[in-house]
Amino acid sequence: MSDQQEIYVSTDVETDGPIPGPHSMLSFGSVAMLPDQTVVGEFTANLQTLSGATGHPDTMKFWEGQPDAWKACRTDTKDPAVVIPDYCAWLKALPGRPVFVGYPVVFDFMFVYWYLIKFAGESPFSFSALDIKTYGMALMGKPYMGCTKRNMPKRWFAGKEKFNHKHNHIALDDAKGQGVLFCNMMAERAKIFAPQPAAKAA
């Protein structure tokens, strides 16, 4: 398993609260990418809310200001008990080892991992997930709190236009955008650490 190529699964979730269980994952989108931005698969679904769960007042207030995104994530909702096992199978069928990529990863992975364990009984990601902001911290050499998207180099966002959207709180769209960002960051890291040509003998 360890010698497989890594497939970077950029994932975004939309929820009605800060934690899974008391609150629900409303929608999620994953785009599986190679480092050169080749898309090898996509998966997205809108989910029915969990039995007994409720929307958190602060989150629902946020949704009041996002009517288009709310409508999008509440259209054609499906039972997570059906969707999540299908998602798990999709991850396991990718042509390489899936690596979860998120921004912020602690939020998105928390929901996806919880749902995978509850409804599929396993996580193809294991316990691991990669945070784009932390990766940016390493590349930029700045404190973590200063590594927000607005402070990242504009060149890291080149290519997002091919998906023809801006950040819009529609899960699959946002997953695609952050996937391009991450691939550009990986490309820059590869240049930094590229082997240097050997010096010519005098």
Provide the pLDDT for residue 193: 76
Q: Does the pLDDT at position 1 exceed 60?
A: no
Q: What average pLDDT does the segment 124-148 reach?
A: 94
pLDDT tens string 33-79: 999 999 999 999 999 999 999 999 999 999 999 999 999 999 999 99
Start-to-end CA distance of the chain, whole Å, equals 46
Q: pLDDT over 90 for what percent of the chain?
A: 82
Structure tokens at 63: 């949704």
Burial of 107 (0-12, 13-18, 19+ CB in 10 A): middle
Task: Work out whether strand 6-15 and strand 129-131 pair parallel, antiparallel, or are unpaired.
Answer: unpaired
pTM: 0.90
Q: Which residues contact 101 (CB under 8 A, 6 or more apart)?
A: 8, 9, 10, 11, 129, 130, 132, 178, 179, 182
Provide the pLDDT for residue 196: 67
Q: Is the separation of the CB atoms in 35 and 8 below 8 Å?
A: yes
Provide the pLDDT for residue 192: 79
Distances (CA, A) of 60 to 28, 70, 169: 17, 10, 14
Multiple choice CATH, 6-192, 3.30.420.10, 4.10.320.10, 2.60.40.290, 3.20.20.140: 3.30.420.10
Q: Which neighbouring-strand residues pair with 33?
A: 8, 39
Q: Does the pLDDT at position 108 exceed 90?
A: yes
Q: Does the pLDDT at position 195 exceed 80?
A: no
Q: Which residue has the tokens 């199978």?
A: 89
Provide the pLDDT for residue 103: 95
Which one, of 90, 89, 112, lies nearest residue 100 by Cα? 112
